[in-house]
Amino acid sequence: MGKRFILPGFGLTLGYTLVYLTLIVLVPLSALFLKTESGGWQHFWNTITSPQVVASYKVSFGISLIAALINGVFGVIAAWVLVRYRFPGRRLLDAIVDLPFALPTAVAGIALTTLYAPNDWIGHLFAYNQPLGSFISPQTPFGAWLATQGWAKDFLGREGLRIAFSQLGIFIALTFIGMPFVVRTVQPVIQDLHLDVEEAAACLGATRLQAFTRVILPGLLPAIFTGVTLAYGRAVGEYGSVIFIAGNLPFKTQITPVLIVSKLEDYDYSGAAGLGFVMLLASFVILLLSNGFQAWDNRRRGVA
Amino acid sequence: MAGAISSFPTAASLNQPIRATSEPWFVKAVLIGIVFAFFTLFLFLPLVVIFQEAFANGTAVFFAAFSDEYTQHSIRLTLLTAAIAVPLNTIFGLSAAWALTRFDFRGRSLLITLIDLPLWVSPVVGGLIYVLIFGAKGWFGPWLYPDADMLAHSAIARFLDAHSFHIIFAVPGIVLATTFVTFPFIARGLIPLMQEQGTKEEEAALSLGANGWQIFWRVTLPKIKWGLLYGIILCNARAMGEFGAVSVVSGHIRGQTNTMPLQIEILYNDYNSPRSAAFALASVLSVLALITLILKTFAEWRAERQLAEAAAAFDFPVKR
């Protein structure tokens, strides 16, 4: 320990860090807790378990999970392709991965909505009278079957598939904002893989697929879990990009952060604080989970 | 290490993986195709949409969007907000990175987790907490929004009311919420970089008689400048583009508390203004995002070089 205190400035920098952290983050966050308590625990419990709120949890946490898993699959493929293959446009792809980090969420929101709204860019391709949309038209057997399914009701419009203003739209927005996480956590791990292990697998008679599933993939798993958890954590709290594309219908396309805002607009401070407290708790659990996966990954790779 | 024997090509020394460690060409083609399709759908097309829609009604309409009084005000407010939040977080980031990478102490990893927290908290919660403190029904509400009874008794309340100083639905709240949301960016960029660079150069400077500030300005800062620059630029892009937290504390008063992202929302939902006006303003923030990405690529390249140079100077291996 003593050796680590050679350089000056410990008291000053740590003191400033703690003061600033306390003022900007810790004190405000504690307001959430105290305000929740001031409304009474019964009020808190009734708020966070009311049917509309529970429906919003399902939308927020459920669709975020699907989006994070999809990002898990495509993120691993993207990371693999970006590290292992050389092809024209690779550097461009590598640079654009971080776009969802840098692009303001409201800008992403209006761009994705314009892209997927029923009469717009991609959205109009899924009208029933268009080639792509005709597959799910109620006139086809598949479309007729789909129309009888409860879960599909939300996004089967009168004239075509509704991507924006349905749960599909929320999925698109959450996939967009979670994209960089899996790619950026898996990429360095693939970079560090030792080719000789794969050679050994090949020498021992493994096919390429066996080498991937039994040798490469187990090594990537901690990083994949970390990335998926991070993408999930980001998606659960997302607000800006979702409100444009979601439609925000209670029980269908209303995410929990939108509900917090509407409670604030009704001056229901303790209700908003209660929901905020639930969201904070969820982020904290997700953050701890991702730290756990990260530690597992570091142990596995022998990084300090 | 480099003897005559190792001049034989091994898989690791070749740029191209040999057959046993790579996929057949058609698998490669399919995977690359999937990645291009996924990126096009989710990343390239949204970008194309922004610029296409911004110029959909011609360049005259594009530029006309910026002559709007409220739009101009929103740009000024966004610049002001970033000009306060980014320097605050830069000083914090440098200070936190110094404390966390130069010293080992109990609770270090907990501190890193706490610094990370604002990244994972919903931006709406980031705004909500300041409303709970400074809002009309919040902790300090009675002082900031005094009733007649309070006014008679409290000098602070009289002073604040006379100067109509409010935090929520006003500029200070917007600055606070933005500072909260962009809080971790510079620190979490610098911590891994300074961790990897180590402290040998600083210790050498110390032994040659430099004091703390001299070490920081002449040794540490030149070593981390590219990582720091990228952190500042990312923090700035996020500060200018923050929507959720600012939306909660702003009150959406046109010409007073609307930042650029909030103005984009208003223009987009306003059926009297052309869609291109919202996208014109959005395209400005998108250019900022693209500049951020370019500088990130550049800064990564420079940071990698700085690290390699630092490693070569002291001849210790660096794990990348």
Chunked into runs of 10 residues, chain B (320 residues) has average pLDDT values of 46 53 85 94 93 89 87 92 95 93 87 89 92 78 62 62 71 92 90 86 88 89 87 91 92 83 92 87 93 85 71 50
- B205/B296 same-domain check: yes
Written as six digits, the tokens of B176 are 């606070």
Report pTM: 0.87
- B37/B177 same-domain check: no
Reported ipTM: the value is 0.87
User: How big is the A-B interface in CB pairs under 8 Å?
Assistant: 303
CB contact under 8 A, B21 and A195: yes
Output the pLDDT for position B241.
Answer: 92
- Taking the CA of residue B96 as centre, how many other CA atoms within 13 Å lie in the half-sphere pointing to its CB? 32
Written as six digits, the tokens of B22 are 């790579």
Q: Does B136 fall in a domain? A: yes
- B37/B167 same-domain check: no
Q: Does B209 fall in a domain? A: yes
B-contacting residues in A 10-39 (Cβ below 8 Å): 10, 12-14, 16-18, 20-21, 24-29, 31-32, 35
Q: What is the C-alpha separation between A262 and A24, in angstroms, rounded? A: 25
Q: Name the domain boundary from B8, B34, B54.
A: B54
- B37/B150 same-domain check: no
Name the residue among B285, B279, B228, B218 with its Cα closest to residue B89: B228
A191 has a chain B CB within 8 A of its CB: yes
CB nearest to A111's CB, from B50, B118, B203: B50
CB contact under 8 A, B11 and A196: yes
Task: Give the domain range for residue A284.
Answer: 30-104+180-301
Mutant choice from B32, B108, B124, B131 vs A, greatest count of A C-beta within 10 A: B124
CATH number at residue A245: 1.10.3720.10
Output the pLDDT for position B160.
Answer: 64
CB contact under 8 A, A96 and B102: no
Q: What is the C-alpha separation between B250 and B246, in angstroms, rounded? A: 6
Q: Does A190 fall in a domain? A: yes
Shortest CA gap A74–chain B (Å): 7
Q: What is the C-alpha separation between A23 and A243, in angstroms, rounded? A: 30
Output the pLDDT for position B3.
Answer: 43
- B125/B45 same-domain check: no
Cα torsion B241, B247, B251, B256 to 10°: value is 0
- B46/B71 same-domain check: no
Task: Give the domain range for residue B40.
Answer: 23-54
Number of domains in chain A: 1
CB contact under 8 A, B95 and A237: no
- B163/B31 same-domain check: no
User: In terms of DSSP H, where are the helices of chain B?
Assistant: 25-39, 45-54, 58-64, 69-102, 108-120, 123-134, 141-144, 148-153, 155-162, 171-182, 185-197, 200-207, 212-214, 221-241, 244-250, 260-269, 275-314
Q: What is the largest CA-CA distance in chain A?
A: 77
Taking CA–CA distances from B281, the nearest residue in chain A reads: A107
List, as one string, the DSSP characters of B12-46: TTSSS--GGGS--HHHHHHHHHHHHHHHIIIIIHH
Output the pLDDT for position B319.
Answer: 41
Q: Does A214 fall in a domain? A: yes
Output the pLDDT for position B146.
Answer: 61
CB contact under 8 A, A195 and B12: yes
Q: Does B15 fall in a domain? A: no
Q: Which residues in chain A come in under a pLDDT of 50? A: 1-3, 304
* Three-state secondary-structure class, residue A164: coil
Output the pLDDT for position A153.
Answer: 74
Taking CA–CA distances from B198, the nearest residue in chain A reads: A4
Q: Does A127 fall in a domain? A: no
Q: Does A78 fall in a domain? A: yes
Q: Does B274 fall in a domain? A: yes
CB nearest to A179's CB, from B23, B42, B114: B42
- B243/B173 same-domain check: yes
CB contact under 8 A, B99 and A93: no
- B117/B253 same-domain check: yes
Output the pLDDT for position B158.
Answer: 62
CB contact under 8 A, B293 and A108: no
Which residues from chain A sit within 8 angstroms of residue B114, using beta carbons? 21, 25-26
Mutant choice from B40, B120, B219 vs A, greatest count of A C-beta within 10 A: B120
A211 contacts A202 by C-beta, under 8 angstroms: yes
Mutant choice from A25, A107, A121, A291 vs B, greatest count of B C-beta within 10 A: A107
Shortest CA gap B201–chain A (Å): 11
B96 contacts A17 by C-beta, under 8 angstroms: yes
* Three-state secondary-structure class, residue A127: strand
B-contacting residues in A 199-228 (Cβ below 8 Å): 199, 202-203, 208
Which residues from chain B sit within 8 angstroms of residue A264, using beta carbons? 128, 131, 248
- B181/B216 same-domain check: yes
Q: Does A84 fall in a domain? A: yes
Mutant choice from A25, A189, A297 vs B, greatest count of B C-beta within 10 A: A25
Q: Does A236 fall in a domain? A: yes
Shortest CA gap A302–chain B (Å): 11
Q: Does B12 fall in a domain? A: no
Which residues from chain B sit within 8 angstroms of residue A232, using beta carbons? none
Q: Does A34 fall in a domain? A: yes
Output the pLDDT for position A106.
Answer: 94
Q: Does B5 fall in a domain? A: no
Q: What is the C-alpha separation between A288 and B114, in angstroms, rounded? A: 11
Mutant choice from A198, A239, A279, A289 vs B, greatest count of B C-beta within 10 A: A239
- B65/B46 same-domain check: no
CATH number at residue B170: 1.10.3720.10
